[in-house]
């Protein structure tokens, strides 16, 4: 096993442990739940929105494979800002795409960076409706939208893109999204950055032709050339 494989293995195991907490595989830790409740409450109160909580998706009206879903948990603001700062880009040149946008917190956070456009993709109709209300409540511009769509059928725009994901689904769906993202780049080479928080399926992206820059609880992926 070479150094890259060993590094990926350590990172994947750490991400998997965090992912288990997030998806209730082993049950949430009381300390983490308490912290999340505080963050959710403070964020929603400050912005007049409803983005918090843990939402099981399998019983909702979905446009895709509900069996490969994981419970929706909103992005942590500190993690989000850390990732956006680490990109080292002129955000105004890019379209921000959140795959598995849920209730839209990442869309609200992205609005502070002056992206050219902001697009959410979410397969649960009920969450799309909540996100639309949040976009309206936050008075975001018309350049921000959310689509009710299966992520495996979504086509990235042919322009510079920051693709964001917060542990949105399992390995089967992730493999398809990774392949389609790489195919989009191959058809039209352009600046493309994938920010993957809680990257449980990181190896899937590496196998699809991406290079991973590993951080704390997230990875930044770019197409290998």
Region of poorest pLDDT, from 29-38, 86-95, 128-137, 183-192:
29-38
Region of poorest pLDDT, from 17-26, 92-101, 162-171, 175-184:
17-26
Using pLDDT thresholds of 50, 70 and 90, give the confidence band for residue 27: low
Contact 178, 172 (CB under 8 A): no
CA 199-204-209 angle, 5° bins? 115
Using pLDDT thresholds of 50, 70 and 90, give the confidence band for residue 140: very high
Distance of alpha carbon 155 from the chain centroid: 16
Residue 209 half-sphere exposure toward CB, CA atoms < 13 A: 15
Q: Which range is most confident: 53-57, 67-71, 118-122, 123-127?
A: 118-122
| Residue 70 neighbours by CB under 8 Å, 6+ apart | 22, 23, 57, 167, 168, 169, 170
Helical H runs in 125-225?
125-137, 171-187, 202-207
Q: With 60 as the cut, is the pLDDT of residue 24 above it? A: no
pLDDT in tens, 73-104: 899 999 999 999 999 999 999 999 999 999 99
Token reading at 80: 């989000």
Q: With 80 as the cut, is the pLDDT of residue 35 above it? A: yes
pLDDT value for 45: 97
CA 128 – CA 203 distance, rounded (Å): 29
User: Which has the closest alpha carbon to 114: 87, 100, 142, 93?
Assistant: 93
Inter-CA distances, 194 with 1, 59, 143, 181, Å: 26, 29, 20, 9
First to last CA, the chain: 23
Beta-strand relationship, 72-73 and 54-55: antiparallel
Q: Which one-letter DSSP state was computed for residue 146?
A: E
| Residue 188 neighbours by CB under 8 Å, 6+ apart | 158
Beta bridge partners of 29: none
Q: Is the pTM of this model over 0.75?
A: yes
Q: With 90 as the cut, is the pLDDT of residue 57 above it? A: no
Domain at 3-223, CATH homologous superfamily: Vaccinia Virus protein VP39 (3.40.50.150)
Using pLDDT thresholds of 50, 70 and 90, give the confidence band for residue 19: very low
Query: Domain ranges in the chain?
Result: 3-223
> How large a percentage of the chain has pLDDT more than 90?
72
Using pLDDT thresholds of 50, 70 and 90, give the confidence band for residue 179: very high
Q: What is the mean pLDDT of residues 145-165?
A: 97
Beta-strand relationship, 54-55 and 192-197: unpaired
pLDDT value for 6: 45
Contact 185, 195 (CB under 8 A): no
């Amino acid at each position: 096993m070479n150094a890259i494989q060993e590094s990926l293995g350590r990172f994947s195991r750490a991400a998997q442990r965090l992912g288990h907490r997030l998806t209730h595989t082993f049950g949430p830790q009381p300390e983490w739940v308490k912290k999340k409740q505080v963050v959710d409450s403070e964020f929603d109160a400050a912005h007049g929105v409803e983005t918090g909580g843990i939402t099981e998706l399998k019983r909702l009206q979905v446009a895709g494979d509900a069996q490969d879903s994981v419970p929706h948990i909103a992005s942590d603001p500190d993690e989000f800002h850390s990732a956006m700062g680490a990109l080292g880009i002129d955000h105004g040149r890019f379209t921000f795409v959140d795959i598995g946008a849920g209730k839209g917190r990442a869309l609200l956070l992205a609005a502070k960076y002056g992206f050219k456009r902001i697009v959410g993709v979410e397969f649960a109709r009920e969450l799309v409706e909540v996100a639309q209300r949040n976009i309206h409540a936050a008075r975001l511009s018309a350049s921000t939208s959310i689509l009710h769509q299966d992520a495996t059928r979504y086509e990235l725009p042919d322009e510079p893109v920051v693709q964001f994901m917060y542990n949105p689904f399992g390995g089967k769906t992730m493999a398809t999204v990774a392949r389609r993202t790489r195919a989009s780049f191959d058809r039209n080479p352009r600046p493309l950055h994938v920010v993957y928080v809680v990257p449980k399926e990181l190896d899937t992206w590496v196998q699809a032709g991406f290079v991973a820059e590993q951080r704390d609880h997230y990875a930044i992926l770019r197409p290998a050339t």
